[in-house]
Structure 1
């Protein structure tokens, strides 16, 4: 072999090696990547909501991201880019694979409900004005990946279309969410509705005979009486020393769990708002250790509604709500936009379990635990699917007596 031939072979070898390594760095995203991104989206959305008031908060980030991931199938150009960026999913995009993210959502849903033990029903529906002809390819895609419905309604007949949508929601949530639409705005063209219904029974139910009225300290000056559930058992618990908060896991039958994050008594819960992210959430779960504990938790019921078309523009999802929206994948007709996105979430936590309709290792330890975990002040809670770490619901309870 001549020196020239040797150099050519060496050059080709280097090129092939570089090409292989570049392919390896562009691995196809999986469900773990999706759930991680969904948790950070959940925290971003939570912060937008919490910045507007100091009340109770409850919503389903999975429901919201699923609805907009479905809508992204219709979106083109900057409208689609804004949706994926706002959902924190843009880094999962791969050229020439527009169906990749919908497929991930499809696989995630299959993983959550595959054995039927977990009662979780999701439903996505697009209600579009009669004047718009829906593309058959879009209807097929949204049905295939999200088991979603696209319905034409006459928004000009406000009362009839309102009842059509509310009836759909009642059916999908086991009658837990009775009304999501109270009025139809004039000139409404399209409404995006996503429902999620969760029913979880505690792995170890609380004994109702142990539930007693007790004090809950909203702040230094406001105290309310709440029915406080009690149990003594071995629980999984961790301590986030950096945040100055304790973490408690309460498992449900069927592979889901509630994670309660309780700030220390001298810590303002608003300080924690800015620090919660996917990495921290997953490290709480990873660092849980079993210990014998007395647990006191208030029974509570929350019902919260959000007009997401008023919140999401501040998270970068803007075009889709304006006449510059590009939804050519749904309809070739011009001037179509999303008029309203309504999200309503309901949760009831009692001795039996939960009915809900509608997520750094430094300083996280699992020792020096208290023997009592008393949830008698504002706290955060997360309901997640354990096998995938998919965040189904999250909330903040400031006053458990406020429904």
Structure 2
């Protein structure tokens, strides 16, 4: 009897320990780069909602660029700062105490998978600009070079004019002149500035005929109508309809395993209502339920250049300590009081008859059906540029005014 009681007490003690011993849950055993893409997609939608809540204008950014930037800071951070980055990036379930390099390794594999056929033009470049007096830990510098091919640049921020010129020249070269001015001013007290650039160029699998492009009306809202260059093409396209959402989908493939998915709200449906409904699960269901049909597509040419100060947006999403005096960046440097001064993101996209050139920088109810013959994109719409094999979201945007640049 005494032995039995002792066994019961031991079982009770072990049960209690299961509730009080967390740290980090073990990463799911089936973690793949597609799983990382899924998590990154939900982060992208959350960030989109944060950006769009501030205005009713065009939106364009690279979720992959931004996530990769902050993945490097995961290796630099500890404590609350580390936990906040994980939570906002939606990567908590990928954190593993016995595999500290799992997340950066997944980002590395994702990048390799996207570029594996060699034909896709997607160049990512990252640099951490550090105040001259800061001594960076060798382990951190080695890690970001290994996993992200990133560079650490020592900058004399006290020379504000020289540092602005230095940063802009770096970004200009990395984006092949697509982004010529990343920063206009830098504070002389700047400690750390993170820049991540991504350059993308792709041709349509089936180009539009420029001879057919003509001016046509685009309805910004019920009161504002613009004449914009409208591209026209008749062919077989993959389409679907989301009946509960009140929107139609159109897939436009590029030549290198990348596609643009357009989400067009139905007439009378306010695009702001759709904002709250977009998520990773929705996106994957749209892609899954696309069906091919013949129709004529009318699509506006557009070009956008958008920029965001992420240090102003992310604290509202729960990532605040990174930009404050309480930042824990001890894996980057042992210097006390170190914090991220700025993370700037600037993105450029141009869509025409031949394809898309885009550059970015970081300082369910689906019913497939036969669509009407016409798919006319003549009102505000959403678009997503994604890698098909991994469903990785490279860019996403909202076009309110195609002629606004």
TM-score range, shorter chain: over 0.9
Give 5+ residue unaligned stretches, structure 2: 1-6, 8-24
Mark the CA change 1:261 to 1:26 in structure 2 (over 3 Å): closer, same or farther. Answer: closer
Q: Is residue 52 of structure 2 the alignment partner of residue 38 of structure 1?
A: no
1:120 — aligned with what?
Answer: 122
* TM-fit CA distance, 1:381: 0.2
SS in 1 for 2:111: helix
In 2: Cα distance, 1:103 partner to 1:24 partner: 16
Deviates further, 160-169 or 206-215: 160-169
1:322 — aligned with what?
Answer: 324
In 1: Cα distance, 2:145 partner to 2:104 partner: 11
* TM-fit CA distance, 1:28: 4.6
User: Is contact 2:246-2:265 (8 Å) kept?
Assistant: yes
Mark the CA change 1:54 to 1:212 in structure 2 (over 3 Å): closer, same or farther. Answer: same
1:274 — aligned with what?
Answer: 276
In 1: Cα distance, 2:344 partner to 2:365 partner: 39
2:255 — aligned with what?
Answer: 253
Mark the CA change 1:25 to 1:384 in structure 2 (over 3 Å): closer, same or farther. Answer: closer
Mark the CA change 1:168 to 1:402 in structure 2 (over 3 Å): closer, same or farther. Answer: same
In 2: Cα distance, 1:159 partner to 1:244 partner: 51
User: Is contact 2:293-2:370 (8 Å) kept?
Assistant: no
1:94 — aligned with what?
Answer: 96
* TM-fit CA distance, 1:365: 1.2
In 1: Cα distance, 2:88 partner to 2:128 partner: 20
Q: Is residue 169 of structure 2 the alignment partner of residue 167 of structure 1?
A: yes
Mark the CA change 1:35 to 1:373 in structure 2 (over 3 Å): closer, same or farther. Answer: same
* TM-fit CA distance, 1:49: 0.2
In 1: Cα distance, 2:187 partner to 2:180 partner: 19
* TM-fit CA distance, 1:30: 1.2
* TM-fit CA distance, 1:24: 11
2:336 — aligned with what?
Answer: 334
1:61 — aligned with what?
Answer: 63
Q: Is residue 171 of structure 2 the alignment partner of residue 153 of structure 1?
A: no
Normalised to the residue count of structure 2, the TM-score between the two structures is 0.92
Normalised to the residue count of structure 1, the TM-score between the two structures is 0.93
For this pair of structures, how many residues does the alignment match? Answer: 382
Q: Is residue 87 of structure 2 the alignment partner of residue 105 of structure 1?
A: no
In 1: Cα distance, 2:188 partner to 2:300 partner: 42
In 1: Cα distance, 2:39 partner to 2:145 partner: 24
1:85 — aligned with what?
Answer: 87
In 2: Cα distance, 1:25 partner to 1:391 partner: 22
1:298 — aligned with what?
Answer: 300
1:29 — aligned with what?
Answer: 31
* TM-fit CA distance, 1:94: 1.4
1:204 — aligned with what?
Answer: 206
SS in 1 for 2:402: coil
Deviates further, 157-166 or 292-301: 157-166
Q: Which digits, 9 at most, give the CA deviation of each residue in 1:231-275, with x for residues without a partner?
A: 000000010001010000000011100000000011000000000
* TM-fit CA distance, 1:92: 1.1
User: Is contact 2:27-2:96 (8 Å) kept?
Assistant: no
1:195 — aligned with what?
Answer: 197
Q: Is residue 312 of structure 2 the alignment partner of residue 310 of structure 1?
A: yes
* From 222, 231, 235, the counterpart of 1:220: 222
Mark the CA change 1:79 to 1:399 in structure 2 (over 3 Å): closer, same or farther. Answer: same
Give 5+ residue unaligned stretches, structure 1: 1-7, 9-22
SS in 2 for 1:70: helix
* TM-fit CA distance, 1:124: 1.2
* TM-fit CA distance, 1:196: 0.7
1:369 — aligned with what?
Answer: 371
* TM-fit CA distance, 1:183: 0.4
User: Is contact 2:295-2:371 (8 Å) kept?
Assistant: no
Mark the CA change 1:26 to 1:250 in structure 2 (over 3 Å): closer, same or farther. Answer: closer
In 2: Cα distance, 1:261 partner to 1:49 partner: 18
In 1: Cα distance, 2:206 partner to 2:371 partner: 21
* TM-fit CA distance, 1:25: 9.1
2:133 — aligned with what?
Answer: 131
SS in 1 for 2:171: helix
